[in-house]
Amino acid sequence: MDNELNKQLQYLGLAYLADQWQVIHADAQAHAPSYSRFLTQIVAEEYQRKIEQARLARIKRAKIPEVLVMDTFPFDQQPRLKKQLVMELYDSLQFLNEKQDLVFIGPTGCGKTGLATAFLVHAVNQGCRGLFIDFSDLLDSLYQSRGSYSESTLMKRYAALDILLIDELGYIAAEQEQASLFFDLMRRRHQRGTTLITTQLGFDEWDTFLHDPHVTAALLDRITVNCVVFNMKDGISIRPKHIVYAADSQQNPDNKNPTDT
């Protein structure tokens, strides 16, 4: 392929054809497909390349720390989770179609963030615009936007997301103004998009970090209109542990001193 043809293909955005020109040309010579089949195959490959590029771009924009999928979730280590119900919700995309909120409640290490991430990745792969954000980062960004007079723009961007994952809700306490901004965001997203929330706190404990019973009540009233709760509070930690003690057994708090009998 000469440089001029390559330049034209790149300009037209026909990346697959430009990259695979020699392979496509050799295959056409070897198998002599009909013009219709030949052109259809090229268009189909270009289409799939565009679709994959768009998917990868959405994943990147979602800022997911670790791209986890449902196939990797160890249901056998969380036997109290109803796997069939979880998979039905996941496979049917009901949570997207019905704009449901999903709340994952459980102690650290139980897999709630991994499970929520799998739902987020699945939605993004289906063409949704999504975002993963820590609760503390969300509060900071909302608060700072007020100071920089960009609050309206940021609120609209967050509210317009098809799916938003807020990780570790309640990990830090919210100031009064931050709690108000967070409620405003959730109010705007109500029945407009799907919000995924992971937290160590049950609903009855949310006032401990919002510090406003009226805001808490109004927030829960909206979330519980149409939501699925994944109660993992009795779940065991599935986070792998690798501990090396940099001390001898006499200083190891988990072992008795050999001289003690």
Q: Domains plus CATH for the chain?
A: 3-57 (no CATH), 70-231 (3.40.50.300)
Low-confidence residues in the chain, pLDDT < 70: 234-245, 247-261
In the Cβ-directed half-sphere of 94, how many Cα atoms lie within 13 Å? 12
Question: Using an 8 Å Cβ cutoff, are 75 and 81 in contact?
Answer: yes
Rounded (5°) CA angle 75-77-79: 70
pLDDT of residue 188: 95
Return phi, psi of residue 198, to 5°: -110, 140
pLDDT of residue 6: 85
pLDDT of residue 259: 41
pLDDT of residue 28: 87
Classify the C-alpha dihedral 32-37-43-44 as positive or negative: negative
pLDDT of residue 20: 84
Residues in the chain: 261
pLDDT of residue 252: 52
pLDDT of residue 258: 42
pLDDT of residue 7: 87
39 contacts: CB under 8 Å, gap ≥ 6: none
In the Cβ-directed half-sphere of 45, how many Cα atoms lie within 13 Å? 16
pLDDT of residue 261: 37
Q: Is 228 helix (H, G, I), strand (E, B) or coil?
A: strand
